[in-house]
Structure formats: C-alpha cells, structure tokens
Amino acid sequence: MAAVDSTTSDLEIMKRVASYDSLALEALYNRYSTILYTLIKTIVSDQKFAEDILSDVFVIIWRKINHFDFEKGNVYTWLITLARNKAVDTIRMKKSGVETQPYSDEYEDKFILPLLKSNGKAVELRDALNKTVNMQKAMEDLTDAQQYVIHLAYFEGLTEGEIASKLNIPVSTVKSKIRIALTNLKENLSRGYSI
Amino acid sequence: MITRQEAADLIYANVLGCLDRGDQTKLTEYINAGGELPSNMGELQNIASMLPVILHAENPDSRLKDKVARKLYRIKDEIRAKVNTGSINPAEVFYKNSRENRKAGSTQDDKVLTTTEPEKIIVEENPEAPSENESNILPGEQEKEAVNEGSREDIPEENTAKDFEPVTPLRNTFESFKSTREKVLEGNFKDGGEEETQEETRLEVKTPTRDKIKPYERVITKEKPSYTASANKTPYRSTSTKERGKSFERAYKSKYMTEESTNKKQGMKPWLVISLFIILLLALTVLYLNFSSEIDNLKFNNDSLKQQVNDLSVKFNSTQEIQNILESADVNVINLGGTGINPVGKGKLIISESQNKGYLQLSEMPELGQNKAYQLWMQLPDGKYFSLGVFNPSGRVQYFPFKIPQSEGSNITEFLVTEEPGEGSANPGNKVFLTGSLQ
C-alpha cells in the first residue's frame, strides 16, 4: 500500500480509511485535527469539551466512513460539517439539560452526519486554506448585521428561533437575513474565486 | 412532506446549521425521498464550511491522539464485524501496520510522518489492555489467523494485544501543503521530514487486575511538537478581520445582548454573592475602625501640637514685649515681696511709663481656690487704689501683661497683689500676698 505523504489527497486518505487503514486515519487526524479542533472549540468554548467532541468525531469517521460519498469526494466539507454538527448537537443537549432524543445510530445518521446531496465542487483542506484571505475579505464586505447573524448561526449554534429571541426580531426576519447574508457572501467570494 | 418551495426556504438555514430538529427532520425526509433541491445548495454548503478558516487556529493537546486511539480500541469488535461482512479485506493493512512494519523498523509511512524529536512515553496502566483469555485478536490478526493458523508461532504471544493500532503516535503532516499560507503555518504544523530523527521508545502497558500477565511492550515513535506554547495559535484571520469581528460583536451585543448579560449575572450563586458581600463588609468595618483610631490619634497629636504652638507663640510674644520694655529708656523694675500670708512668694514688675504698660512676674505663689484670682493694684498719692488686672497663674506662663493709665504713670507709689474673686474687685481685699514700691 502506498505511503501517506504530502501529495496524498484527502480523498485518497478517506478511501484508505474506508479500508480501515489505521495509518490513513492517523494521517487524516494529523491533517484535519487543527482546523476541526479550532472550529469545535469556538463553538463549545471549553478545551476538554472540545477534545471529547473531536475524539468522538474521529470515532464517527471510523465507524461511519461508509456514509461518505466517494463519488462526490467532498472530503473537507464533509468533515467540517460533521464536526460542526457534533459540536452544536452537544451544546444544544447541554443547554436543554435533558436528552430530548436518545443518542443512537439512527439519531447520529439523521442529525450528525452531513447531508451533502447536491452538486458542490469537491474541496480539500489545502484548497480551503489557500482561500483564507478571500474568505476574510468576503466576510468583511458583509454588513455587521449579516456577519453577526452568520456568527450566531454557525459559530454559536443557535437555531433560527433562538436567534430571533436573542435579537428580538421575528423568525421570518432571521430567515431573510440568513438568506441575504449567505447570498452576499457567495457574491463577495465569487469576485475573487469560485468554490 | 414539505413542498419544493418550503425546502428551498429551509436550505439557507440548513447550510448554516441553524434549523431546529423539526425543520431538520422535514428537510431530511424531503431529501431522502428524492425531493428536488436548489442547484446552489452544494456551493452554499462549501461556502459555509469555509467559515472556520477565518478562525485563529489552535492545536489540540498532543495527548488527544492517544485518547482517540483508546476510543477506537473500544469499538474494535464493531469494526471487526464490519470488516468480516464487508467486501474490503483490511487484514493486510492491519498486518502491515501492527506487525511487519514494526518488526522491520520504521515504515515508509513512518518516514513520511515522523517529525522532529521523538519523545518517550510510558503508559503506566491501561485498564483496557486485553487479557490472555480475552478475544483480543484484531481484524488483521484474525485474518492472518484464519488464513494461516500455523504462522502464529511467528508472532510472539505478548504482541497479541498490541496489534491493534488505530493510530500511531503523534506526527504532524501539514508539511504536505506547500502553499504560501502553509509556509506561514509551518512553525506549527511542520513535519520535519529529512531533518527529523527517530528514536525508539518503549511503551509499557500493564493490566492492573492481572499481575501474572507480563506487561507487553511495543516499539513506537513519537514526535515532539515542534511548536512552542506561545506559538500554539496561528492566526488564520487578519488583524483587521479580527477587529472587525470584535466590532460587530460589540455593536450587536450592546444592542441585543443586555438580556444575556443579565442572565449571566443571575447565574451567580446567591450564597456566593452574600458571602462575598459579608466578607467585603467585614473588611470595610475593620478598615474603618483602624482608620478611625488612627485619625483620633492624629487629631489628639495635632491638638497637642497646636497647644504647644500657641503657648510658644504667647511666650514668644511676651518675651518680645518684655524685651521691648527692657530696652526702653524709662524702664522700672520693681521687686514684690511676700507678706505674712505667703512669705516665700515673690514677684516682679517691669514697667515702662513711656509705653504705659508693664509685666507682672509671679513665682512661689500658692494655688487659689475656685473662683479666686490674684489682682494687681497700684496706689496713687491720694491713697486710692487702681486695679491693673486680674491674673490666674497656671504655672506655665509666668509673665502677665498690664496697662498703666497714661495720666497716672509718674504718680504711682506702691503696688499690691491681693486675692480677689475670680472676676476681680473694685477695691483691694484683706488678703495681700505681695507688696512693693517705686524707689
């Protein structure tokens, strides 16, 4: 089996993880743990919590690798979305104080595993990191309100209803703001590159 | 089932992950049922997943990888079952990872992944270490065992438990990215490559409940992170973006998040608040008492000093006056002598007729009762007495000033000091303490 090195693509690593190659999983960890941990820690704001979630994410990857769509091969988006879903689910459970729905395989498949069903272009970590500056610029070009709505939704894990309560505005307004913010972000990004 | 339009409305919130469970379920059912989705959903999902790159990157604790490995070890049976039922054949992978490569030393992968200074790790105890009777043969071994039972003798018994190695110890692999951005990150994610050295370390895993089982050992390599604690964070985001982010957070938090800050305050435990308040109150009381006592002392000292200053000032003024009188050309000094009432008493008058004033000095005079005072008299040629003043010697001030009527200066013949009521008398009484006359 070929070695995992700097030229090995994310997709190739995922394929090897799918064959339960432990070194491939380690390579995936080495490659992605920083950005996943950064994201999770931002959402949960606690180091130990974030570490637990990150380790859970890699267990999910190991157990549910067959849910990844190798035909589309969008490794970066799948992993980021998986980590975010897990982190947000954890803090929502913690906030509510009760387990409204038992955490099961079915629950995990339904609410934690990413639902990437459309025609997005496959993105790898190196692509994402190369576009950091564009992303910063695109975010900066949004209004403060749009940035804040994205922040509340994506990084604080609030639902539309919770955002509406927090900002004291109707849910319909929140929906509208989210749609406009994402649309504008996409337009801002398209000025420099396309994803 | 929701309609296409409703699904399209949910897509944006779904992309940002802010749908509640109800809407999420509806959308998932719609998608799983093959419902049509907007063409830009994939692109929006990619855009949303790009958001984390603007965060300040932070590396997880280096020990986290071991924790992940332990978690993966716990699900070994599940994975083994998947491998047995699946089309893939991971036996060679595990065999290579866990046995052959390690026996032969570092693998090609190791060469790629190993980083700078290796670090020895000794795991004191591993409660999850498989026992002899436990079914601890992992997929790779299982496969090998199934294929060639006779080859078991090639595998030392003590290695049975170590074959599963979901991940090998720490190695950072960000060296794979050679973009400009990653050169910036190189300090954190550097994979030493050719410059790195390896060192064999031994990992001992002891089974605490089974003393007879010899701890098994395995040879591993482990990197030492090349970054320092202070360099642990690498800015993904420019300063301007960070400031901007803070700015919009501040702006909105000040506008919308009053309730949140109130809730945080309400979150403090009442007993803690009360305890802190009591401690604060006690501390303030002690401080107040200390300061109050200190202030009283300072006030007393201040009053004493003021009194001393006053006394000195009076004394100085008297001395000055006496000096002026003594320097005048017509100064007269009259000695007063004691009488039968107080033979040891003495007095002295210093008079200047030109200045029409004088000083009385008293000594060895007895203390008078309450509401009594000494009164100085001068006798005129016609036998009448004229009061020059009432005095109360305190023992400190020895000189008492008095004034002489201008018209009588040269007519004075005799002086008396008598005991009189405190407010003085119109005529001298019977108790004469001192007498004296001009020569």
Q: Which domain holds residue B89?
A: 62-234
Please give the pLDDT value at position A159. 93
Using CB atoms, pick whichever of A20, A74, A148 lies closest to residue B249: A148
Question: In three state form, how does the secondary structure of chain B look?
Answer: CCCHHHHHHHHHHHHCCCCCHHHHHHHHHHHHCCCCCCCCHHHHHHHHHHHHHHCCEECCCCCHHHHHHHHHHHCHHHHHHHHHHCCCCCHHHHHHHHHHHHHHCCCHHHHHHCCCCECCCCCCCCCCCCCCCCCCCCHHHHHHHHHCHHHHHHCCHHHHHHCCCCCCCCCCCHHHCCCHHHHHHHHHHCCCHHHCCCCCEEEEECCCCCCCCCCEEEEECCECCCCCCCCCEECCCCHHHHHHHHHHHHHHHHHHCHHHHHHHHHCCCHHHHHHHHHHHHHHHHHHHHHHHHHHHHHHHHHHHHHHHHHHHHHHHHHHHHHHHHHHCCCEEEEEEEECCCCCCCEEEEEEECCCCEEEEEEECCCCCCCCEEEEEEEECCCCCEEEEEEECCCCCCCEEEEECCHHHHHHCCEEEEEEEECCCCCCCCCCEEEEEECC
Residue B255, in any domain of the structure:
no
User: Among B234, B257, B290, where does a domain finish?
Assistant: B234
CATH number at residue B425: 2.60.40
B213 lies in the same domain as B359: no
| Model pLDDT for residues A143-193, shown as the tens digit of each residue | 999 999 999 999 999 999 999 999 999 999 999 999 999 999 999 988 764
| Contact (CB<8Å) A6/B176 | yes
| Same structural domain, B197 and B343 | no
pLDDT confidence bin for B2, thresholds 50/70/90: confident
Is B155 found in the same domain as B117? Answer: yes
Chain B residues whose CB is inside 8 A of the A153 CB are 13, 16-18
Q: Is the pLDDT of residue A100 over 90?
A: no
Percentage of the residues of chain B whose pLDDT score is greater than 70: 55
A49 touches chain B (CB under 8 A): no
Q: What is the model's pLDDT at position A42?
A: 95
Q: Is residue B308 part of a domain?
A: no
pLDDT at B50: 92
Look at residue B384 and tell me whether its pLDDT is greater than 70. Answer: yes
Looking at chain B, the whole-number percentage of residues with pLDDT higher than 90 is: 13
| pLDDT number for residue B234 | 39
Same domain membership, residue B190 and residue B74: yes
A168 touches B at CB < 8 Å: yes
* B20 and B116, same domain (yes or no): no
pLDDT at residue B35, as a whole number = 82
Chain A partners of B93 at a C-beta cutoff of 8 Å?
1, 16, 19-22
Domain with CATH 1.10.1740.10 in chain A: 7-126
Q: What's residue A2's pLDDT? A: 66
* Complex ipTM over 0.95: no
Smallest CA–CA separation between B43 and chain A, in Å? 5
User: Could you tell me the pLDDT band of residue B226, with boundaries at 50, 70 and 90?
Assistant: very low
Which tops the pLDDT comparison, B432 or B248? B432
Whether this model's pTM surpasses 0.90: no
Say yes or no: domain A7-126 is CATH 3.40.50.300.
no
Same domain, B201 and B104: yes
Nearest-by-Cβ selection for B64 from A19, A54, A158: A54
pLDDT for position A98: 63
Interface contact flag, A182 B47, Cβ < 8 Å: yes
A131-195: CATH, from 1.20.1250.20, 3.30.1330.40, 3.30.70.20, 1.10.10.10: 1.10.10.10
More confident position, A29 or A106? A29
**B265 in a domain, yes or no?**
no
pLDDT at B357 exceeding the cut of 90: no
pLDDT of residue B208 exceeding 70, the answer is: no
- The tally of domains found in chain B comes to 3
The answer to whether residue B107 sits within a structural domain is yes
Whether residue B121 is found in the same domain as residue B9: no
Mean pLDDT (chain A, rounded): 89
Task: Say whether pLDDT at B336 is over 70.
Answer: yes
What was the pLDDT predicted at A150?
Answer: 94
Residue A77 to residue B171, Cβ atoms within 8 A: no
Last residue of a domain, one of B54, B75, B95: B54
Residue range(s) in chain A whose domain bears CATH number 1.10.10.10: 131-195
For residue B73, pLDDT beyond 90:
no
